[in-house]
Chain A
Amino acid sequence: MRPAFVTRYTAVSCLGAGLAATRAALIEECSGLAPCRFDTIELATYVGEAAGVDEARLPAELARFDCRNNRLALLALRRDGLDEAVRASVARHGAERVGVFIGTSTSGILQTELAYRRRGADGSLPADFNYATTHNSFSAVEFARQYLGLAGPAAAVSCACASSAKVFAQAARLFEAGLIDAALVGGVDSLCLTTLYGFHSLQLTSAQPCRPFDAARDGLSIGEAAAFVLLEREPPGAGGLALLGAGESSDAYHMSSPHPQGLGAQLAMRTALEAAGLDARHIDYINLHGTGTPGNDKAESMAVNALFAGATPCSSTKAATGHTLGAAGALEAVICLLAIEQQLLPAGLNVRQVEPALQLDYVRRHRRQPLRRVLSNSFGFGGANCSLIFGRAP
């Protein structure tokens, strides 16, 4: 595929707001996970809660979009000059030539969960509850379009935890089709009861901070994040960062468990390599999906080993950020871009002993080494898989 060029990126997560905080956390090997004190939730689990979301205020004219998810989105849109860069892109290409594709799994459903607690005597929802601008999966997309004055093709991608990796592939397709010249892509997912109680019901949450690829890992920690990347169809200059390849596949196996040998994951990684015109040996680091559940990490290890034979350094950054679900693909894309910028392999935290059977070169302490191309994995419920390859543009 034709590379898509990265001109601006940022992220807000429990590691902090913006690139400087995220970069510092990666270098200092900090985790943002803390015991869950969110809302009225009484679950013995850790979460990666972003700071400052409750205090964020949407512009008055967009108040109808107000919900935790769009507040989190706004925090990121305002970081690292992202909004100015998008507006400059609009000025350059025209508002209808700039697309918006945002991955989310639960969007603003927290708003509906809270509204259900405030039902009237007749069972009705409160008058101030607005489904379209908060709950609906398209809410953050429409909010971003209105906030930034965008009028081009747009969609929310909702493929569970692969959502915001797939938006990169979708934008690249629209570039190739000549339908747009730039795209704001990203992911936004915020803490809510549905996912916390839902993953708990599947016995997939850990009572401790998650420990991806540790021999004693016992589940995931949920996080929240907003992460955005401004992609351009034409290179802004030589040697910049770019999306070099994307690969998507389906497990066709089970709704909430990965294929035990990671066949779908393998297919996604292989397709991404083919799209980029690269071999496994060209990849210097793999940001693993690595949720910390016994099943995911084992299946992903088998998939990675089938292609990379344990030779490529890899880690999961979810022990630092938590599993940010529909935002994970974009958050980890931003982490990969930072890794290339910093020539730093981020550490996979909380590991006491890497499970030997997994046979990975698992990065437990961050490493400084030349880093040209990185691959990021995102896998989700329903067997949705997406692998992305980032690197310096040729």
Chain B
Amino acid sequence: MRVRVQGIGVRGPGLESWAQCAAILRGEAPYAPAPTQVPAASMLPPAERRRTTTSVKLVLACGLEAVQAARADAARLLSVFASSGGDSQNCHEICEVLAGSTREVSPTRFHNSVHNAPAGYWSIATGCMRASNVLCAFDASFAAGLLEAAVQCTQTTERVLLVAYDTPYPPPLRAKRPIADAFAVALLLAPESSGGGALLELRLRHAPVSRIRLAELDSQCHSIPAAAVLPLLERLAHAGVGESIGAESARAQAGTGAADAQAGAGDCGTAGEVVLPYLAPLHLAVTVRV
């Protein structure tokens, strides 16, 4: 199964945008650990903005970044969202209220408790009435989302927005489900025939899960389920995705697509295969071609 990546958005600990993240992954900028910065939900009207959660804010920011990079029309996009646990702070607050004497759950907290709340806010913010699927596969959630988005993209031959995200549980749930910090990633996938963008070839197979080369980000990959995307982002960064469009095409023309480029099929270079964690022993192998 083949799809193209035409836009990327990312927010995580010390990661503020795809451009900044790509520079770090290429070794062009140092990684400075810092708590995840949660952006304002500027896409929503002020009344809605105040009622949103961390996961909604991260999803809107990353989704918008990927859509703008691809110059896509958000209102026309199919979308897939994947999270290992939805909004954790909101969940904790509901459980705390329900363990108390009044049990007065706030209506806003209740509607924000649905796993698809970020998908709902995304559709409201963009006016998009297309189908949106929202998945959870615990620690395999990113790969489950990528698989579903790629399947939709190849079958409809339309662009599909994938957003994967997680937020950390506060105590006492944190001890039972430690998630290091908030993280979100958005990939704007396009059909192979659409031309621009790095080509991903996806296969389910038995293989050891890849580790990220940049050691400073290794712990993030293992402590936040959605950050399992980072080894793939590392390949995409080395493949030149995330540079300005001019630089990307110049690089491709000069045949220096990737640091470890080798001869690929036809005129494509390959940045190698990365194996993302899915449902052991079955994992999701992704070959990146530029």
Contacts and interface: CB of A to CB of B under 8 A. Distances in A.
Interface of A: 96, 105, 109, 112-113, 116-117, 119, 123-125, 129-132, 136-138, 141-142, 145, 151-160, 166, 170, 173-174, 176-177, 179, 193-194, 197-202, 248-256, 263-264, 267, 271, 380-384
16 contacts: A113-B99, A125-B175, A131-B173, A136-B136, A137-B136, A156-B137, A158-B136, A173-B151, A173-B152, A177-B154, A179-B147, A194-B98, A202-B107, A250-B129, A250-B131, A381-B117
B277 interface: no
A264 B121 CA distance: 15
B48 to A, nearest CB: 8
A108 to B, nearest CB: 12
B147 A153 contact: yes
B151 A382 contact: no
Contact of B155 (A96, A151, A177, A256): A177
A252 B115 contact: no
B103 A197 contact: yes
Contacts of A105: 114-115
Given A201-B107, A250-B129, A383-B120, A136 B95 contact: no
Contacts of A263: 129
B137 A155 contact: yes
A160 B123 CA distance: 15
A255 B135 contact: no
A121 to B, nearest CB: 12
A39 to B, nearest CB: 10
B172 A194 contact: no
Contacts, number: 199
A255 B120 contact: yes
Contacts of B172: 116, 119, 123-125
B138 interface: yes
Given A194-B94, A197-B98, A255-B120, A248 B132 contact: yes
Nearest to A124: B172
Contact of A141 (B111, B137, B281): B137
A100 to B, nearest CB: 10
B275 interface: no
Given A112-B91, A123-B171, A384-B134, 7 more contacts: A166-B133, A249-B129, A250-B119, A264-B129, A382-B114, A382-B117, A382-B121
A152 B116 contact: no
A125 B133 contact: no
B250 interface: no
The 3 A-B pairs at the shortest CB distance, nearest first, are namely A382-B120, A158-B115, A198-B110
Nearest to A192: B98
B173 A174 contact: no
Nearest to A267: B129
A130 B116 CA distance: 23
Given A194-B110, A197-B103, A251 B144 contact: no
A160 B112 CA distance: 11
Max chain B C-beta neighbours (<10 A), residue from A166, A194, A253, A267:
A194
Contacts of B30: none
A136 B177 CA distance: 10
Max chain B C-beta neighbours (<10 A), residue from A158, A201, A382:
A382
B132 A255 contact: no
A217 B127 CA distance: 31
B63 interface: no
Contact of A380 (B114, B141, B176, B282): B114
Interface size class of B (residues with CB under 8 A): 35 or more
A85 B266 CA distance: 46
B29 interface: no
Given A176-B155, A194-B113, A201-B110, A159 B119 contact: yes
Contacts of B152: 173
A246 to B, nearest CB: 9
B279 interface: yes
A155 B134 CA distance: 10
Contact of B84 (A124, A136, A151): A136
B73 interface: no
Contact of A158 (B94, B114, B123, B176): B114
A158 B132 CA distance: 11
A199 B109 CA distance: 11
A136 B85 contact: yes
A166 to B, nearest CB: 6
Interface in B147-168: 147-148, 151-152, 154-155
Given A125-B176, A131-B173, A255-B124, A198 B131 contact: no
B111 A256 contact: yes
A249 B130 contact: yes
A16 to B, nearest CB: 29
B21 to A, nearest CB: 26
Given A174-B151, A255-B120, A384-B119, A155 B136 contact: yes
Contacts of B207: none
A300 B178 CA distance: 42
A384 B121 CA distance: 11
B221 interface: no
Interface string B203-219: 01000000000000000
A251 B1 contact: no
A137 B85 CA distance: 7
Contacts of A198: 94, 105, 107, 110, 113
Contact of B105 (A170, A173, A197): A197
B89 interface: no
Given A153-B147, A194-B98, A201 B106 contact: yes
A194 B105 contact: yes
A173 to B, nearest CB: 5
Contacts of A124: 171-172, 175
A176 B1 CA distance: 12
B124 A252 contact: yes
A326 B98 CA distance: 21
B87 to A, nearest CB: 12
B129 A251 contact: yes
B172 to A, nearest CB: 5
